[in-house]
Amino acid sequence: MLQTRNTQRFVAVSRVSDEGALLRFGAELSVVWVNPSRSVWMVGLGVCAEGGGDVRLPVAPPAGPWFGGWAFDAQRGWPGFDQERWVLPEVLAWWNGRQTSWLAFGPEGTPLDELERKLDAVQEQEPITSRAPVRRLGNGRADYEALVSKAVGALGPELSKLVVARTIEVESDVAIPERVVLKALEARNPQCWTFLIRGRDGSAFVGSSPELLCEASGRAFSTDAVAGTAPADRSEQLLASEKDRREHQAVVDDLRARLDGFVTKLDVPATPQLKRLASIVHLHTPITATLRDGQSALEVARALHPTAAVAGAPRTTSLEWLRANEGFSRGWYCGAVGAVGAESVTLAVGLRSALLRGNRATVFVGAGVVRGSTPESEWLETERKAETMLAALGVDRG
């Protein structure tokens, strides 16, 4: 549960319909949280209440869920995005595969007819059937390969892994349609967590993450070690790769160490399995545990973040190196995004993502650098990872 010194209470009215095309509704989306493989489809409109790390779920229903998360590194933020922010939408809709449920929230004391009018005001948007071309601006290969070379040179007894990232800028002649991007991400990645988090300045952080930072219900807790990447048709080579297995093991070891003291009955499989996505495959070790009595799942998630999968190992040394050398603000890229309810927490790592601002988008990709990494191989890995978002944005691959 989110922590606070104050308790807010809310009232709500609900409504049920047969409508399932949630992305067609509302003037502006404030949050989106979708995973078809888990039968999760939720969108939020407007903001009823918000807070940072000091907000708490109400003690009485309706409790939410609240949506949000936090940045990768407090020292490298984005304009319009707090270091940590949680939002209770004014209107929340979710689809269970058969029907849509709508809730309008208001602070305690809000007249119920006012909440009914909020639901009445939600209108279906005309679907976009065509869009303007989106152009990739520049290449950036030489700079990224130089950064990887520098990272390889920094490795040693006190720094075993660095996760170095880069940006890809794209542009259209008109505003990039967020809903079309989100629908494309959902369709291409039905087993991933597709999300939108709205910034205070109107920009949108969107993505489709294959990696869980934290999933908890009651005392049951799970997290993912995802590291080691190959093209989708080279899964056997990935399993046999000593370099990728070593990179993956660094993440497993980091998570195991950070969970110590927070959990019992820790289950860490001895060997990784494969996580297959649309165009790439990852090494994946699902980790499960039981939270100790009185332990907050969010507190554990904060202790895990940022993992060795997105920063490096050891954490403090990696973050210091990245701040000094990476050259851009990661903001919420590689941060935590997700939903927190009265009895459950689900947070994904903000990967396969982009920041949309009008007719421009910044796409974020990164790769883990360990002994045996080469600038060319890490460049190619980031290009493969970028395919998901670039395709959803409609960037011409030619």
> Could you please report the per-residue DSSP string of 190-205?
TTSEEEEEE-TTS-EE
The per-residue pLDDT for 6 is 38
The per-residue pLDDT for 258 is 96
What element of type H or E holds 226? strand 220-231
Among the listed residues 266, 340, 311, 321, the one whose alpha carbon sits nearest the alpha carbon of residue 58 = 340
Is 211 tagged catalytic? Answer: yes
Q: Do the beta carbons of residue 136 and residue 144 sit within 8 Å?
A: no
Single out the catalytic residue among 118, 161, 183, 385.
161
The CATH code for residues 134-393 is 3.60.120.10
| 116 SS3 class | helix
The per-residue pLDDT for 356 is 98
The per-residue pLDDT for 56 is 54
Q: Do the beta carbons of residue 191 and residue 210 sit within 8 Å?
A: yes
CA distances from 93 to 7, 24, 69, 345 (A): 24, 12, 20, 18
The per-residue pLDDT for 54 is 60
The per-residue pLDDT for 185 is 97
The per-residue pLDDT for 9 is 83
Q: What predicted TM-score, i.e. pTM, was given to this entire model?
A: 0.94
Q: Map tokens 């119920």 to a residue.
A: 112
CA atoms lying within 13 Å on the CB side of residue 174? 7
The per-residue pLDDT for 237 is 94
Single out the catalytic residue among 90, 178, 186, 211.
211
pLDDT along the chain (398 residues), means of 10: 50 87 91 96 95 59 79 96 95 91 93 95 85 93 98 96 98 96 96 97 97 96 96 93 94 96 95 92 97 93 96 97 98 97 91 98 97 96 95 85
Among the listed residues 195, 196, 183, 186, the one whose alpha carbon sits nearest the alpha carbon of residue 128 = 183
The per-residue pLDDT for 51 is 86
The per-residue pLDDT for 130 is 80
The rounded distance, in Å, linking the Cα atoms of 273 and 229 is 12
The rounded distance, in Å, linking the Cα atoms of 42 and 221 is 22
The per-residue pLDDT for 7 is 55
Backbone angles phi, psi at 255, to 5 degrees: -65, -40
Domain locations in the chain? 10-121, 134-393
The per-residue pLDDT for 198 is 98
Backbone angles phi, psi at 284, to 5 degrees: -140, 125
Orientation of helix 375-393 relative to helix 141-154, angle to 10° = 130
